[in-house]
Structure 1
Amino acid sequence: MNPSDFDAAAADVAIAHDYLTQRGGAEKVVLALHRAFPSAPVYTTLYEPSLTYPEFGDVDVIPSVINRFGPFRRSHRLALPFLAWASGRVRVPARNTIVSSSGWAHGFRTSGRKIVYCYSPARWLYQPDSYLGTSRPGLKGLALGLLTPFLKRWDKRMAGTATKYFAISTVVQGRIKETYGIDAEVLPAPHSVDMTVPEEPVTLPAITTDEGFYLCISRLLPYKNVGAVIQAFNELGLPLVVVGAGPEEKRLKAAAATNVTMVKNLSDGQMRWLYARCTAVVSASYEDFGLTPIEGATHGKPAVVLRWGGFLDTIRENETGTYFDAPTPESIKDGIERSRRIDWQEPTIRAHADSFTEEHFARRLKEAISELSVR
């Protein structure tokens, strides 16, 4: 439908997102989008308030028809066979829809311009081994194998309905070009750390608070490589706090030594408390962007991360963080030991974080809407 055909009552801007059933970087971006466009409704396939950020309680969230099925809300992976169908039935009446997508929301039907902010072409289609793991494919893997040919055709067709594509990082920009043949503009995600939120203490073992601890914040999925981080710290004997939940949780807890503490479902105040007291942020994940090193940098803390993907855009080596070259315990240990020999300068690290603000992010999106409106 042409913009000139819109219903006069259509919203000027709406926001679309895959599903609101977890707490992670993508959901933080959606909240940042809503702060930039506070009157915008948010359309999604699934919404479970108890599993995502409480700030969505103040947002007009409009879920799809499959949201009535509780098991899907509690585990969006169970809904995999139905998400393409559900996405195609979400209708967004707006002159401009900003789509926050890693695989589904770009398939929503919009009545106006569709501006896609892409975290990555769907991992479960184009990187299934890293998404699901290779050891036990299980029913999800079998279902995905059967659905993949259809989903790839659907995915590429829906990508072609976009008016403009943004990529979260240069590695994703290249992946979008390779997968869809689309030239995307890189727009880094904003950090959304609110330094006015009061800190709330987190109960940790005495050794952790006495000696200083490293901080790993991640969904517990295979491609996040949290197991390798835990093994590295098992061998180093240094305190590590892992914040996150996911299907790998039971296995990782069993693998963790006594110097590793695992917590989840923390408030913003508790996260601030951890960032403010940690020695450094650690990640061995194949991240397309990775917000946690930027959030750590707002507190003046360096990062020790995998030399891959979005981290290449966000870390200044030996100024705001160090890299290791493989997601293995040996390589992670080497990165940690090199980091411990550097005299980190908190003002330099904090200044770097200032280049990833919500103001810059919102300004570029508003400029894009204005540019598209005059075409």
Structure 2
Amino acid sequence: MSKLESLRIAIVHEWFVNYSGSERVVEQILNLFPHADLFAVVDFLEDSQRGYIQHKQVTTTFIQKLPFAKTKFRQYLPLMPLAIEQLDLSAYDLIISSSHAVAKGVLTSPHQLHISYVHSPIRYAWDLQHQYLRESNLEKGIKSWIARWILHQIRLWDTRTANGVDRFVANSQFIARRIQKVYRRDAQVIYPPVDLQNYVLCEQKQDFYLTASRLVPYKRVDLIVEAFSQMSDRQLIVIGDGEQMPKIRAKAGKNVQFLGYREPAELKAYMQNAKAFVFASEEDFGITPVEAQACGTPVIAFSRGGVTESVIGLEGDRPTGVFFAEQSVDSICEAVLKFEKYQHLIEPKVCRDNAMQFSTERFLTEFYNFVKQAWENYSKEVSRRIP
């Protein structure tokens, strides 16, 4: 590790405001390279939350000081390409960006190696643009055309800045295909780290189904609730909160119980005891289905996105769940019935074993080896160019 430890390393992330999937990746990259410096568009972490970035100071952009940035920083998306380009990384040998929006767009020179771990190309600017406009009520009118023009400009910028990345890493095969589609570049797949140490196998299940996520439109919890409301003899527990809570509650039958936000320890207990975990969104990877499997709990999931790589369907030799083909109430109902018919084929121990391949230890080994090999190849290439 000594060669990499001697390098000047910068880690660039979109923004530090909470601790979710992409931040878990940054946390483990920092564990590999604790001497690295951090950069981001904004940093609004409270002191009590800064442990996962080792209480480091983060160099931010001018957006940090704009009005209402702490709560409305996403509204400054049109300025973010300009902002990220103002970060001065010229003093570093190795730049590692953790990108789902603009982080990969930092400016680098030929004597620097830029590795970008991509959680997704900018979703709302590419294949999910129409969904974004629909959910934001921006399908018609002058505001719609302004939004479409801004997203068009972001796509042009996003494509151009892909040229500044030397090596791409994707968090799933699904995202690797999206990177190929958008940037015409190959990407090494390294699944994100899932902290599974505190998820305990439980083989005795109770008679309820579980779903857990933020209650926002693309998670499609509304479809899950509608489906179980039609199956009134089955119990569904919903954990999570968000803007769609009133709308989803209005669709729920008496067999659907809303628990709101729950601390991680309590959520784990529900995961351990659930008959199955239901997952209806199209995710880049999807951490909660892996966590559920680590508890020995099967997953009923929409058959698109990263979850198809972390869950093994009934067609596999050692299944860990059941897939449904459409984001619809009928499709979810059919999948639940199918699960109940074949659930004897799904063993809790097999679910647990499947989840363990996505452990933090695996990520640390794979990502470090990738960076080491990339730096060695880069160094050899530079040496050949020097007369």
Structures share a fold, TM > 0.5?
yes
Per-residue displacement from partner, 1:179-229 (whole Å, max 9, x unpaired)?
A: 1111111222221234189xxxxxxxxxxxx96432223333332222111
Q: In structure 2, do the counterparts of structure 1 residues 156 and 51 end up closer, same or farther at CA, with 3 Å as the change threshold?
A: farther
Partner SS, residue 255 of structure 1: coil
Find out whether 1:149 has 2:145 as its counterpart.
no
Gaps of 5+ in 1: 1-8, 198-209
Quote how far apart the aligned CAs of 1:239 are. 2.9
Quote how far apart the aligned CAs of 1:54 are. 6.0
| Mapped contact 1:176–1:183 kept (Cα < 8 A) | yes
Partner SS, residue 161 of structure 2: helix
Partner SS, residue 369 of structure 1: helix
Quote how far apart the aligned CAs of 1:132 are. 4.5
Greater displacement, 38-47 / 184-193: 38-47
Find out whether 1:295 has 2:296 as its counterpart.
no
Partner SS, residue 93 of structure 2: strand
* Identical columns (%): 25
The alignment's TM-score, normalised by the length of structure 2, stands at 0.82
| Mapped contact 2:41–2:63 kept (Cα < 8 A) | yes
Q: Which residue, 12, 15, 31 being the options, matches 1:19?
A: 15
In the alignment, the residues of structure 1 paired with residue 103 and residue 239 of structure 2 have an alpha-carbon distance, to the nearest angstrom, of 27
Find out whether 1:373 has 2:375 as its counterpart.
yes
Quote how far apart the aligned CAs of 1:321 are. 0.8
User: Which residue of 2 is the match for residue 200 of structure 1?
Assistant: none
| Mapped contact 2:108–2:164 kept (Cα < 8 A) | no
| Mapped contact 1:41–1:59 kept (Cα < 8 A) | no
Q: In structure 2, do the counterparts of structure 1 residues 355 and 196 end up closer, same or farther at CA, with 3 Å as the change threshold?
A: closer
Per-residue displacement from partner, 1:316-342 (whole Å, max 9, x unpaired)?
A: 113111101111111111112222231
- State the aligned residue count: 355
User: Which residue of 2 is the match for residue 192 of structure 1?
Assistant: 195
| Mapped contact 2:42–2:61 kept (Cα < 8 A) | yes
Gaps of 5+ in 2: 379-387
Q: Which residue, 63, 68, 71 being the options, matches 2:65?
A: 68
| Mapped contact 2:206–2:274 kept (Cα < 8 A) | no
User: Which residue of 1 is the match for residue 274 of structure 2?
Assistant: 278
| Mapped contact 2:9–2:95 kept (Cα < 8 A) | yes
User: Which residue of 1 is the match for residue 263 of structure 2?
Assistant: 267
In the alignment, the residues of structure 1 paired with residue 86 and residue 74 of structure 2 have an alpha-carbon distance, to the nearest angstrom, of 19
Q: In structure 2, do the counterparts of structure 1 residues 307 and 52 end up closer, same or farther at CA, with 3 Å as the change threshold?
A: farther
Q: In structure 2, do the counterparts of structure 1 residues 246 and 137 end up closer, same or farther at CA, with 3 Å as the change threshold?
A: farther
Find out whether 1:89 has 2:91 as its counterpart.
no
User: Which residue of 1 is the match for residue 358 of structure 2?
Assistant: 356
Per-residue displacement from partner, 1:259-313 (whole Å, max 9, x unpaired)?
A: 3344555433233223222222211101121111111111111111001121221
In the alignment, the residues of structure 2 paired with residue 104 and residue 121 of structure 1 have an alpha-carbon distance, to the nearest angstrom, of 9
User: Which residue of 1 is the match for residue 130 of structure 2?
Assistant: 129
The alignment's TM-score, normalised by the length of structure 1, stands at 0.84
Q: How does 1:197-276 map to 2 (within 5 A)?
A: 212-237=207-232, 238-276=234-272
Partner SS, residue 60 of structure 1: coil
| Mapped contact 1:133–1:223 kept (Cα < 8 A) | no
In the alignment, the residues of structure 1 paired with residue 105 and residue 115 of structure 2 have an alpha-carbon distance, to the nearest angstrom, of 12
AA of the residue aligned to 1:170:
Q
AA of the residue aligned to 1:351:
D
Greater displacement, 251-260 / 143-152: 251-260
Partner SS, residue 230 of structure 1: helix
Quote how far apart the aligned CAs of 1:165 are. 0.3
In the alignment, the residues of structure 2 paired with residue 52 and residue 304 of structure 1 have an alpha-carbon distance, to the nearest angstrom, of 36
User: Which residue of 2 is the match for residue 181 of structure 1?
Assistant: 184
Q: In structure 2, do the counterparts of structure 1 residues 13 and 243 end up closer, same or farther at CA, with 3 Å as the change threshold?
A: farther
| Mapped contact 2:170–2:176 kept (Cα < 8 A) | yes
Q: CA RMSD in A?
A: 2.9
| Mapped contact 1:275–1:301 kept (Cα < 8 A) | yes
Partner SS, residue 133 of structure 1: helix
Q: In structure 2, do the counterparts of structure 1 residues 90 and 190 end up closer, same or farther at CA, with 3 Å as the change threshold?
A: same
Q: In structure 2, do the counterparts of structure 1 residues 61 and 68 end up closer, same or farther at CA, with 3 Å as the change threshold?
A: same
User: Which residue of 2 is the match for residue 172 of structure 1?
Assistant: 175
AA of the residue aligned to 1:293:
P
In the alignment, the residues of structure 2 paired with residue 262 and residue 143 of structure 1 have an alpha-carbon distance, to the nearest angstrom, of 38
